[in-house]
Copies of this chain bind each other. A is one copy, B any other.
Amino acid sequence: MGEPIYKIIENHVKELIKTNDLKQGDMIPSEKQLSEEFEVTRMTVRSALNNLVKEGYITRRRGVGSIVLGSKIYDNISAISGFTKEMQNKGYEVSNILVDFNIIEADEELSKKLNIPIGDNIWEIKRVRMADKIKISYMVTYMPIKLFPNLNQKHCIGSLYEYVESICGYKIAISERSVEAIISDVELEDILDLNKKEPILYIRQACRIENGEVFEYSHTYHYGYTLTLNAVAK
């Protein structure tokens, strides 16, 4: 079998929303109508529609129907799309400078954060990120070598997330971030060409692939940058 039918129905409805055939507040065809149109049972249709609910496209009400939610918010719903995509979406030209690329051994903290044994080998990647030729963030990323045996310096120039998904074939599933405001120190001012004591967003993030393994733990220092977040309830 190729693509499962529920996926086909899912994409069909997504397409209707994207092409504006269905707008915010519109009712999508009922389960019965869709099951007749695609000649499948209601259960198959329900599986498609429940996925659309999960992804924030529609909401459903018993006795009423399935309603299209506002698309604006849901456009970039991938809250962990990664920095590169996020900035490109805002119209900036994004590039990375690779500052350091090492293999280190997991200490106690990294072993906890990455959920691997102490002493395991880890890629340590230090990068400065540029938007339109201005340095705006410094990022230190740790990734288990076990998961990425073939990572090299070239991959670090582009989007690491794209490498993880497109080339390695992992599906990025969930991330935990903590966000703090701090004041820059001399080291950071040096790296990012800042004035003294600038306000900085300090973000620590652990990111998992679908099977639950942590594939990345990172520290990021953002200057003059607004983090945009879309959160879905529950």
Contact = CB atoms under 8 A, between A and B. Distances in A.
Nearest to A230: B176
B233 A172 contact: yes
Contacts of A175: 230-231, 233
B210 A181 contact: no
Contacts of A226: 178-180
A177, A180, A181: residue with the most chain B Cβ atoms closer than 10 Å: A181
A78, A211, A225, A232: residue with the most chain B Cβ atoms closer than 10 Å: A232
Contact of A70 (B79, B199, B208): B208
A200 B201 contact: no
A173 B69 contact: yes
A27 to B, nearest CB: 12
A67 interface: yes
A208 B56 CA distance: 11
A173 B74 CA distance: 12
Contacts of A183: 183, 197, 199
A25, A80, A212, A225: residue with the most chain B Cβ atoms closer than 10 Å: A212
A229 interface: yes
Contacts of A202: 181
Given A70-B115, A177-B227, 4 more contacts: A79-B231, A175-B231, A178-B227, A180-B225
22 contacts: A56-B174, A59-B173, A59-B211, A61-B211, A69-B173, A70-B212, A74-B174, A78-B233, A78-B234, A79-B229, A79-B232, A80-B232, A174-B230, A174-B233, A175-B231, A178-B228, A179-B179, A180-B199, A181-B181, A181-B200, A199-B199, A231-B231
